[in-house]
Amino acid sequence: MSEIPLYAEVEVVNVDPNETNLKVGDKGWVLGMSESKNRKYYAVTFSDPFDVFCIGEGSLKPTGVQKEHKDFYSGESIRVSVDEDGNGSVVS
């Protein structure tokens, strides 16, 4: 399978039996990609942009619909300070 581009719409075609939150036919958007042991995994968001699932390439197929970076990210940013214990807090 060729690499699915970032911000492409994908459809779930195969579901891991341990993953109860997804169904075959669900559609979402690719926000990231990683590779491990020559297998690609995609970070896919569905209805809630704060819920992202890591899904193997064999479980997805592109629909042909493509969006752009700006459709997902506003360009706004925040600053976070991290203390010596590793706890972060938003800086005004």
Mind giving me the DSSP string for 57-88? GGGEEEEEEE--GGGT--S---EEEE-TTS-E
For 2-17, what is the mean pLDDT? 91
Alpha helices in the chain (DSSP H): none
Q: What is the pLDDT of residue 49?
A: 66
pLDDT in tens, 28-60: 999 999 998 889 999 999 987 678 999 999 999
Q: Is 17 left (phi over 0), alpha (psi -120 to 50) or beta?
A: alpha
% of the chain with per-residue pLDDT over 90: 65
Q: Which domains does the chain have, with CATH numbers?
A: 1-68 (2.30.30)
Q: What is the pLDDT of residue 75?
A: 82
Element of type H or E holding 79: strand 79-82
Whose tokens are 């896919």? That residue is: 44
Q: What is the pLDDT of residue 42?
A: 96
The pTM of the full predicted model, rounded to 2 decimals, is 0.77
For 59-72, what is the mean pLDDT? 94
